[in-house]
Amino acid sequence: MGIATYKVAMESGTKVSDERKSFLYDKLLHSIYALVDNESELPALLGLMDEFFSLKHKDGLNSSHSEHMSGLLPHVQRANELLEKIAALHLKSNHADTVLDHIPMGIVLISTQASILSKNTRAADLLEHIGARHDTELHFNHSGRQKQFLETVKQVTSGEAHGAPLRMGDLSLWISNFGEGANRQLAIYLGHHTYRRNIRIDQLMTHYNLTEKEAQLTARLCDGHSSLKEAAERMGISIATARSHLKHIFAKTGAERQADLVKMVFINPILALQQKPPALQSGISSKTRVMRLPSGRTISYAEYGDPIGMPVLFCHAITGCRLMLPVESISRGKCGFRLIAPDRAGYGLSSPALQDPMQQWLEDMRHFLQQLGISECCVAGHSAGGVYAMALAVEYPDIVNHLCLISSIAPLRNLADAAHLLPINRMVIHLARSNPEAARAFLKLSMQAALKEPDSYLKLITNSSPDMDREVLEDAGLKQHLHEAFRETTRQGIGHIIDELMYISTRWRISAGAIACPVSIWHGKQDKHSPFTLIDRFRNRLKQVVHTSWMEGAGHYMLFHHWPAIENQLCPKKKAKPDAAIPAVLLAWVASLPLGQCLEFMIPTLDIA
């Protein structure tokens, strides 16, 4: 090819590339704003960013992309503002629903045409109990009851009465006007005669300065069934003692009659609100524990396996948390180790970071391990968790006796190393280093969309995975588990995730020579998120690599289908030697005995065997 021909071809290629780039830029603008209204647009947006970034510049990072992405920055910031406003509206609505759900009676709001506008959980339960339909309209299954209900609604709507009672079997209703003018609605309050309110004894004692027996009697009288005599019998006290308690209760509460006392308790919001079991109230896994550090900070964590086994500290991924583990495989395992998975700062119930993510992690873990009484342990890190696992191995060589890297990311020696990464990851790293404001804006937009619709986010992960990973990621049980883990990851928002991504992209440095303990590595050869090429090169610079497993066909989530193999390597099964169970001190003592005494000592041992 002549020089002139080559020059024309290059100019033609540049023109096509520029036209494509201009087209993609316009598509990106559309996709950014479409994401505000349609969270399922996230895969399309990331796909466009992927193509935009990889176009023409496939061998590393290029400053022209920073300029192009900076041009999109105002639009991304505007989209973030819109998403935040929408999220605030949803939060306000959810808070209102939560308040209604804590009211100790059923509440249904209906229009003047009897269409259901809102209802709390208690109302739904009560209506289900009597077989009433409550989807779009309130409909009682007995024609006579339905007629009576509609007549009462009409009576209240017409203004004949501000409110009216209604009895439907065991269900008592009070229907009243709610709102005025065009906003007028009807509020229906429901109560069940057999429903016993959960009056807390400790709250009664605190609020009215009652003794425990006085508080118990008050609660009995408020349960809807107990007369003073019945309450005394159930408490195992005489009627005279019950009257004496009641006299003191009246004096302390200011009530003059039993009916006044019951009313006083029922209208007191502190005492009457329903109390949910802690696990249901907070949405926290039953395996979750929370530790308070000497600094006052809290660390949430989960434990799996043998409580007295060899401790293994698990460092979770950036979009994971203490729950991001193949729990079923671990529970079936019999290797005998104690797996401890703490949440880093800002994840789950752990306190937010007060300094950079790494320094906070190292400081928190020093106190965390001390309080657990762990002086030595193995540390395992999955994905970006490998960064934090390596840091522990370097910072606390006297504690970390073994480092296990599972699909771990590896350090970039220079910008050319970024050519091994997915285009979208190259973009994040380059923007983080050249235009941090733009990087944070794009990360925030992506994470807000994922938070709004986690299904699209998880689908994106699944579709970018090799077949071996995809097969397990599409399992219904694992999908549900990953949803729960993601909800817990973002319990406090997304700021901590962005902070960690920015830290790793710009400030993370690790010297392979500083890791003195033995290292085991598991990695999928088809890993697109943490390329095999980079971790293999990093392995060659480590001092003590005692095990490597390069999984053919596996990707970034091989943790979920290769856990048994990892578990066996963490705790290899060893054949016991004949004297393995005899402590060295005992052997020395036996050796010091005269021959006759030694035989007397050994014979019963052999008989038992």
Determine the pLDDT at residue 59: 41
**This prediction's pTM:** 0.62
What's the 3-state SS for 254-322? CCCCHHHHHHHHHCCHHHHCCCCCHHHHHCCCCCEEEEECCCCCEEEEEEEECCCCEEEEEECCCCCCC
Q: Decide if domain 288-422+464-570 falls under CATH 3.30.450.40.
A: no
Domain ranges (residues) in the chain: 104-192, 201-272, 288-422+464-570, 576-609
Query: For 124-177, what is each residue's pLDDT tens digit?
Result: 888 887 888 888 888 888 888 888 888 888 888 887 766 788 888 778 788 888
Q: What is the CATH number of domain 201-272?
A: 1.10.10.10
Q: What is the CATH number of domain 104-192?
A: 3.30.450.20
Which range in 97-111, 188-202, 294-308 is most confidently predicted, on average pLDDT?
294-308
Query: For 550-603, what is each residue's pLDDT tens digit?
Result: 999 999 999 888 888 888 777 654 443 444 433 443 334 334 444 344 333 333
Tokens of 420: 């091994």
Query: For 379-419, what is each residue's pLDDT tens digit?
Result: 999 999 999 999 999 999 999 999 999 999 998 877 677 77
The β-bridge relationship of strands 400-406 and 298-305 is: unpaired
Determine the pLDDT at residue 280: 34
What's the 3-state SS for 18-79? HHHHHHHHHHHHHHHHHHHHCHHHHHHHHHHHHHHHHCCCCCCCCHHHHHHHHHHHHHHHHH
Measured between alpha carbons, how far is 52 from 25 in angstroms, rounded to an integer? 8
Tokens of 3: 């020089």
